[in-house]
Chains A and B, each alone.
Chain A
Amino acid sequence: MTIAPPRPITSAKDPRFAPTLYANVGRPESWTLQSYLLSGGYQAVQRAFAIGNDAVIDEVKKSGLRGRGGAGFATGLKWSFMPLNDGKPHLILCNADESEPGTFKDRYLMSEDPHQLIEGMIIGGFAMRASLGYIYIRGEYVQAAERIRAAIVEAREAGFLGKNILGSGFDFDLQVHRGAGAYICGEETALMNSLEGLRANPRLKPPFPAASGLYGLPTTINNVETFCAATQILKYGWEWHAGMGTEKSKGTKLFQISGPVARPGIYELPLGTTFRELIFDWAGGPLEDIKVIIPGGSSCMMLPYTEAILDTGMDYEALAAAGSSLGTGGVTLIPKADCIVNATWNIVRFYAHESCGKCTPCREGIGSWMVRMYEKQVRGQGQPGDVQLILDMCDNIGGRSFCALADACLSPVMSSIKLFRDEYDALATTGKPIYPARKRWREA
C-alpha cells in the first residue's frame, strides 16, 4: 500500500499555508538582529553547518527551488556548477539590482528583513565554498542599502560573519555595492563588470560565471528572493518547500500587483496560485475594467484579461503554456480605458533609455528607432504600414541581440500588437486613439 502524496498547496487560502519569506515584515523593528533572532533567525545556518556543504546543495536541489529573478533556473543545480578544490577563492553575488518595471519585492525583503538575506547568503557561501559575497544593490534603494549595511555590522559583531562562523571553521564576509541606476546591471555579467568598476556591458558567455566570473574567479549569482528562500528551505526542510506549489514549480513566491486594484502591493503566495485569487481575494479586485495582465514584470508577454487567464496558475509551466512567463512575479494590470499603444510606449521608452549601447539591434533598433516609432503613433502622426514596419523591426531584432534586453522590449510590443491590432491600426491610420488619453486613475 502506498501513501497517497499530500495534496500540493497551490493557494494561500489553504489552511496549511503560512507565509515564511514575508513572515517578519511588518513587525516592529523587524530589521534588527534582536527581532530576527526572536523569530527564530540564524537557525537555518546552524542546521546548514551541521549537515555539511554537499548536503545543503542536495537539500536545495530536492526542494525544487528555482531562481526567483525571472529566468527560473534550478538553484541547486546552479550551485553545484561551482568547481570543487580548484584552489581559487570562490565568490557569491546577490543580484539586488531590482529594476524590472512592476517589480518591488526585493526592496522590502532587504529593508524589512535584511538578516534573512544575510543568512541565505551565508548558507549559499557555505554550500559553494565561497569566502566573500557581494550584494549589488540598486542605487535608488537608499533605505534598503542602509539597513543591509547596518545588519551586516550587527551580524559581524554577533559572529555570524567573519572568521570561523559559529565555530564551524567557515570564513565568510559580505560587502554591499550600490549601483548607479542602470537596468542592464541586473544582467549577471554586466553586473559583474559594473562591480569591477567597468562599463556595465554584458560579457561574452562562455566562460560562464561559475568558471570565470567576478574578477575572473568562480562566481555564482542569485536573486535576493532566491537566497531568502534558501534560508527558509534550510529552516523548514526540503519536504516542506517541495510540498508547496505545482509539480515543477515548488515553494512560495512573492507576487507584486500594481495597477487599478483596491490593495496593490506584495503578497506571498504558493506557486500555482491563480491570477483570480491574487487579484480578487488578496488585492481586493480591480477598480475598473481591465484588458491586459502582465504576469511577471514588463518584459513578459502581455496576456488578455479573460476568464481562462484568470484561472491560470502563476507558475513557470502554466504561464509558459499560456504564452508568457512567470518572470519576477510582478503582476501589472492595464485598464481597458487606456490606449494600449500609449501604455506600450511607456514600456518601450524604458528599454530604449536603458539599452547599454553595446550591440547594434538594441542600441539602434530599440534605442533610436522603436521608441520613436511609438512616439510617432502616440502623437497622432502614424501612417498606414507603420504597424507592419514595427513587426518587421521586431523580426530583425528578436533573438539577434547580444543579451536579452532587446528581446525583453519586444515581448510587450509583439504581444500588444497581437492582442490589440485594431487599436494600433486605428491610431496609425486616423491619428486618433480608440481610448483617448485621460487623467490617471488615481486622480480621477
Chain B
Amino acid sequence: MKVHVDGISLDLPAGTSAIDAVFHAGKDVPYFCAHPYLSPVGACRMCLIESGSPRKNPDGTFIMEGEGDAATPKIFWFPKPMAACTMLATEGMQIKTAATSEVVAKSQAGMMEFTLLNHPLDCPTCDKGGACELQDRAFEYGYGASRFGFDRRHAEKHYPLSDYVILDQERCIHCKRCVRYFEEVPGQEVLDFIERGSHTFIDTAEGGLPVGFQGNITDICPVGALLDNVARFRGRNWEYDHTPTTCTLCPVGCSITVDARNGSLERIVAGENREVNEAWICDAGRFGHVFASEGRLTTPMIRNEDGQLVTATWDQAVDAIRAGMVGLDAHDLAVFLNADSTLEEGVAAEAFVGLTGLASVDHWPRQPGYGADAPTLTEIAQSDGVVVLGADLGEEAPVLELRILEMLRGGLLPAEFHHGTAIADLRLVERPARKREKLAVISSKPSRLSENAGFTAQLDAATALAGLTGSSDNAAVKAATELLNKAERPILILGAEALSSLSGAARSALQSLTQRTRTRILALPAGANARGLASLNLVPRSGGLRYDQLSQARVALVSRLDPLAEGQTRPRFLISHDTHLTATAQQADVVLPAVTNYEKRGTTVNLEGRLLPLRPAALKNGEAADLIRALGIVAEALDVKTGIRGIRSAQTLLSERLGVNVAELPIHGLIAPLGMRYDAPAAPYTPQLWKEGMKRSDPVYSAGMIELPMAPTFVAGDD
C-alpha cells in the first residue's frame, strides 16, 4: 500500500493508521489520547492532518487527472482536517502535516489553545514538569499565548485516589487514557468521566483503586493529573538519573527505568518491552522500592569484645572470618543466596563451590522445576486456551496475568514501525469483548485472575493435576482438559502450589499430556532468576544442606536472605551479606554490606528463559558490594583464589558459556539456550510479592495536605 506523507512515498502494510504513516515517514503530529497499547478514540483532536484519497470508477480503475502519460489518480481531499489516529491509511492516500499545510498548523495551534484553556499551568509545582507531553507539545505547536480571558475551571486538586496515585482534576485534559487502560488492560471498570461538557472530570465512583496494576496510569497520563504518590515532590524530572534496567521482583523480568536523585531511588517507571511487559508493570515493582534508599548497610560489621556488632573495614571482616573459621575447613561452609541474584553472581558462586568442593549450596526461593521449554509471553498472549493450575499469579508473576488477559481479548499485538510500536492500532477497540471460555483457573484459593476465567474451581493442585491428566468429576477440571485437548496452541501454567506437590507420577502424566496434546507447559520459577541459577547447578550437592537446613551447618554465608526471621536457628558461625540489618544480620558474626538489584550490573533469566540485563543506578550505598565481592572476601579468608574477581571476569566467563555477549545485551533481552537445569528437592514455598520494607510507612500526601481541625462536638445533657 503506497501512502504519501508530505511528499514522501511510503510502502505500508494494510491496516496502518494515518498517524503511524506520518511517524513512519519521520514526520510529526502531536497527540495526547492515542497510546500504542490502548484503543484509539480520537478524543483530543490534536493529531489533525489534511488528507485525501483517490477514488475508483465503477469499473475498478482510479479516477485520473491530467492527460496521457502524465495522468495521475485524482486526489479527493477531505474538506476539513481529520484526526489521524482514527483514520486508516488507504492506497494512494496523500497526507499533509503541519510541516506542509498551514491549515493543519493553524488547526493544531487552535486545538492546543483549547486544550490549555482550563489547564492550570502550574508547571513549576507539577511533578510532571520537564517530562510532560502537554508542555512539550504546547511549546512545539501552540500559539505561545492564550486569548481566553476568563476564569479557569476549578476542581479537586491533589486528591488521593489511593495510597499510590494522586489525582489533580484541574490538570486533566480528558484524554481518557486512564479510563481505557483500566477497562482494556486489567479489565477493571473503576475510573470514568463524571458530569459532562466543560464540567467533565475523572474520578472513581466508589473511592480507591484496585490493587495490582494501578500505577500504570501515572505513566500514561500525558499531563500531571495522575501522579505517583510515592515519588511525589521527590525531584524534578531533569534532576533524576534515569537507568533503564530490569525488575527482579518476580520472574517476569519487566523493563523498568530507575530514577534516582542524589543517590536516592525516588521513582520507578515502566519501560517498554514489546515481548515481555509491553508498557505495563505491577504496583509492587513500581512502588515497592522504598527499601533501596532507607536504612541501608554501608560498611562491613563485626562483633567486638563485648559481642556487639560494630562497623569495621573489609580487612577486619576478612580477619574476623578467618578467626571464626579456625578449626573448620571449607567443606563446613554453606552458601545460600537469594534467587534473584544475577547470573554473574551465580557463576562466581559456582566457581567458589568448585574450588572449595563444598556441598551445601542453595538458592532461595526455589522449587522443583519442570523441565520443558517454556512458551514465551508473546506465545501466551496469542494462545487460544490457557489453564492456570495452582498459581496465584498476583503474587508470583503479576504481569503474566496481564498477558493472559490480553489473550482473552484476542492477543492483538500492535504492529511495529520505524518509530516503534504502532501509536494507533485500529484493531484495538474500546470495551473489548473477552473470550472467557479460553481460560480455566484452578487453585486452592480464589485469585484475581479467576474473576476473568470461564472455568474456575477451588481444588488443591495435586487433585486437580490428577484430574487434568486422568479423569475428574469436577466440571471446571473437565472443561480445562477439554480446553487443552481442543485448542490449537494450548498452554498450561503451573504455579508454586502445583510445583511443590509435583510427584513423580504427576511428572510422567504431564509428559504424556504434552505428547498427547499440543500443550506447552510453563512452570513458574519461584525467584526472579531461579531459572538461571538452577542452570548453574547452585543446588545442594550430594550430602549437602538445603537452605531450610541452615541450622545444621557449622558455618554459613547467607546472601540477602533472612532465614532467622523465618524461624530457623543460626549455625555456629554466620556470615550475612545483606542490604539491611535484618534479623539474620543482627545475629551474624560478620555482616557484609550488599547492593540491591537496582545497583547491579548483570544478567537475569526470566520465566521464558530470556536473558535480560541489569544496569546499575547510582544509589548511595557506601561500601556495599555484590556477591562476587562477598565471595572473594570469604575466599581470601579461606586462602583460596577464585578465578572471578569482579563483574568483568564473571561476564567474560558467562559470555563464553552462553555464547552470548552478556555485557552488551539489548535492554529488551534475548532468548538463548541455558543448558541443563539442575534440580534438587526443596522445602514448600509460599510466594509473596510485597515484602517488608518495600512500602513507605507514612504515605507522603498526609504530610503535604492540610487537615482542618474537627469542629467541637456538643454533648447534650448537663445544663
Contact = CB atoms under 8 A, between A and B. Distances in A.
A177 to B, nearest CB: 19
A396 B111 contact: yes
B446 interface: no
Nearest to A365: B114
A369 B42 CA distance: 21
A363 B81 contact: no
A364 B42 contact: no
A354 interface: yes
Given A360-B114, A361-B111, A400-B45, A204 B40 contact: yes
B192 interface: yes
B43 A369 contact: no
Contacts of B106: 395-396
B110 A199 contact: no
Interface string B40-65: 11111110100000000000000000
A368 B151 CA distance: 10
A364 B198 contact: yes
Q: Interface on chain B toward A: helix, strand, loop, or mixed SS?
A: loop
Contacts of B79: 399
B197 A396 contact: no
A182 B195 CA distance: 11
A331 interface: no
A360 B115 contact: yes
Nearest to A205: B86
Interface string A391-431: 01101111111100000000000000000000000000000
A389 B147 contact: yes
A22 to B, nearest CB: 35
A363 B48 contact: no
Q: Size class of B's contact patch? A: 35 or more
A365 B430 CA distance: 25
Interface string A359-375: 11101110111001000
Nearest to B194: A199
A199 B110 CA distance: 27
Nearest to A207: B429
Q: Could you say which of B79, B196, B200 has the most chain A C-beta atoms within 10 Å of its C-beta?
A: B196
A248 interface: no
Nearest to A198: B431
Contact of B107 (A357, A368, A400): A400
Given A396-B107, A400-B80, A357 B45 contact: no
Nearest to B119: A364
Interface in A329-375: 352-361, 363-365, 367-369, 372
B154 interface: no
Contacts of B645: none
Contacts, number: 105
A26 interface: no
B238 interface: no
B517 to A, nearest CB: 30
A354 B174 contact: no
A89 interface: no
Given A367-B197, A389-B147, A400 B111 contact: yes
Interface string B181-224: 00000000000110111111000000000000000000000000
A401 B197 CA distance: 13
B117 interface: yes
A364 B45 CA distance: 12
A216 interface: yes
Contacts of B76: none
Given A357-B198, A359-B44, A364 B117 contact: yes
A368 B44 contact: no
A355 B147 contact: no
B41 to A, nearest CB: 7
A216 B198 contact: no
Nearest to B79: A399
B355 to A, nearest CB: 65
Contacts of B199: 357
Contacts of A357: 174, 193, 195-200
B111 A368 contact: no
B173 interface: yes
B118 A364 contact: yes
A367 B111 CA distance: 14
Interface in B61-114: 79-81, 83, 86, 106-107, 110-111, 113-114
Given A360-B114, A363-B174, A369-B114, A400 B48 contact: yes
The 3 closest A-B pairs by CB, nearest first: A399-B80, A396-B110, A357-B200
27 contacts: A182-B196, A184-B196, A199-B193, A216-B433, A352-B197, A354-B196, A355-B197, A357-B196, A358-B41, A358-B174, A359-B42, A360-B45, A360-B174, A361-B111, A363-B174, A363-B200, A364-B115, A364-B117, A376-B150, A389-B147, A395-B106, A396-B110, A399-B79, A399-B81, A400-B80, A400-B81, A402-B83
Given A354-B197, A372-B150, A389-B147, 12 more contacts: A204-B430, A216-B433, A353-B197, A357-B174, A360-B111, A360-B174, A364-B115, A368-B198, A369-B150, A392-B110, A393-B110, A396-B111
